Amino acid sequence: MKIAVIHEWLVNYAGSERVLEQIVKLYPEADLFCQVDFLADEERSFILNKKSKTSLIQNLPFAKKKYRNYLPLMPFAVARLDVSAYDVIISNSHSVAKGVKKNPGQLQICYCHTPMRYAWDLRDQYLDESGLNSGIKGAVVKTVLNRLRKWDYNTARRVDHFIANSRYIKNRIKRSYGREATVIYPPVDVNAFRLKERKDDFFLAVSRMVPYKKMDLIVEAFSELGLRLVVIGDGPDFEKVKSRARQNIEFLGFREGNILQDYMQKARAFIFAAEEDFGIVPVEAQACGTPVIAFGRGGVTETVIPATSSGSGHRAPESGPASPTGIFFHEQTPEALIKAVKEFEASEDGFNPSEIRKNAERFGIERFRREFGAFVDEKISKAYG
């Protein structure tokens, strides 16, 4: 079978790129397509140093830094990618990748991180945060988003089989597209993180500083609590978030590698206030044996086993351990987080780092490769005999 892999854009190594990495390693002979590709030569090892075939957006003005501004053009651009010579198309999609055109007889399998957020569930939030809920510019953006939503729905018909990165996204695919999906959790490199049994006296939050991550909520709560909090991450809202902090909160900016892991290993608990599709970082924290205090919506409800006192009703899958690995709060407010932290402090002795690590191991790389490869092989066999 001749295979084409369609990715959104190659500009860094983030969550969807971790999935792409394993797909490329499973199918090293596949050809790679994307909207734009601005990875340097020394950054390409995770895709086996492949050169991708890019869309017309690659050569447009300021595309390297402002490629997202070309979103209204992307449906047209992805449709012009020529994949007619391939038997199987694997799209790794959270925006437009699944919209590539296919001919009768071709098989498309879409690993869906989410239906296009800004056209569906997060449309109103996107407009609010961008200040585009009114005025002429706002009206234009709403028209564009409405057209993108219609296009997104229509192009879901081009997909033969959907894979969702969580049950949360499986349900969103059903609501948005009216399509069923099989859940295969993303690959998390749990073996890159080491278990540490003894913890230090601080809490940890790691995130890019953008509004939906709710880092301001975390900082406000810990300013009130007076407990030591270490914040790792950078982004547009860095100064705004930092300005709300008291002296018990330490900002380290962007950190990665051994420094990030060291803080994850030593933290009393990892704080997570966003509503994410899956959420890789909370799994990485658990791989270090660190409990997670998280907003109880989204993919995190499938990766964290809450203490029964949380009353969330979420339990581990049958294959997972029964021991709790965290606590949920159920409103994105400082008050709700403060209550959850106090609950954690009262029950901290009930969290076993070794059991927390075992829970994280359910989401490893080899598990992903095994499940994804078996799914694709099955669908190819049924399609081509």
DSSP string, 6-44: EES-BSS--HHHHHHHHHHHHSTT-EEEES-B---GGG-
pTM equals 0.89
Q: Which residue has the higher pLDDT, 126 or 46?
A: 46
* pLDDT value at residue 316: 43
Per mean pLDDT, which range of 24-33, 133-142, 216-225 is the poorest? 133-142
Please check the confidence at residue 203 and state whether its pLDDT lies above 70.
yes
**Mutual angle of helices 280-287 and 353-360, in 10-degree steps:** 140
Say if 3-187+365-384 and 190-363 have the same CATH topology: yes
pLDDT tens-place string over residues 171-186: 999 999 999 999 999 9
Start-to-end Cα distance in the chain: 12
Closest residue by Cα to residue 283 from 309, 320, 250: 320
- pLDDT of 313 above 50: no
Task: Measure the CA–CA gap between 131 and 122, rounded to whole angstroms.
Answer: 14
3-state secondary structure of 156: helix
Instruction: Give the residue-averaged pLDDT of 262-276.
Output: 96
pLDDT at 264: 97
Nearest 5°: phi and psi at 185? -65, 150
* 123 to 70, 133, 177, 296: CA distances (angstroms): 17, 10, 16, 21
Mean pLDDT computed over 343-367: 96
Does residue 318 surpass a pLDDT of 70? no
CA distance 57 to 186: 28
The pLDDT value recorded for residue 86 is 97
pLDDT digits 0-9 by tens, 14-27: 889 999 999 999 99
DSSP string across 308-321: GGG-------TTS-
Give the model confidence (pLDDT) of 39-98 as tens digits: 999 999 999 999 999 999 999 999 999 998 898 899 999 999 999 999 999 999 999 999
* pLDDT band at 127; cut points 50, 70, 90: low
Would the pLDDT of 274 be above 70? Answer: yes
Determine the Cα–Cα distance for residues 115 and 79; give it in Å rounded to an integer.
Answer: 17
Domain 3-187+365-384 falls under CATH 3.40.50.2000: yes
Cα separation, 269 vs 292, whole angstroms: 5
Percent of the chain scored above 90 by pLDDT?
82
Q: Given the structure tokens 């879409």, which residue do they identify?
A: 110
Average pLDDT over residues 285-314: 84
Buried b (16+ CB within 10 A) or exposed e, 203-231: bbbbbbbebbbbbbbbbbbbbebebbbbb
Bigger pLDDT: 123 vs 198: 198
For 4, the token pair is: 């084409």
Q: What is the mean pLDDT of the chain?
A: 91
b/e per residue 113-131 (b: at least 16 CB within 10 A): bbbbbbbbbbbeebbeeee
Please compute the mean of the pLDDT values over residues 361-369 and round it to a whole number: 97
Sign for the CA dihedral angle at 96, 182, 365, 49 comes to negative
Split at pLDDT 50, 70, 90, the class of 163 is very high
- For 185, which DSSP code? P
Output the CATH code of domain 190-363. 3.40.50.2000
Q: What is the mean pLDDT of residues 131-159?
A: 81
Inform me whether the pLDDT recorded for 216 exceeds 80: yes
Distant-in-sequence, close-in-space partners of 262: CB < 8 Å, separation ≥ 6: none
Tell the burial category of 376 from Cβ atoms under 10 Å away from its Cβ (0-12, 13-18, 19+). Answer: buried
The pLDDT value given to residue 116: 86
What residue segments make up the domains of the chain, in order of their start?
Answer: 3-187+365-384, 190-363
Backbone angle region of 152, left / alpha / beta, with phi > 0 → left and psi within -120 to 50 → alpha: alpha
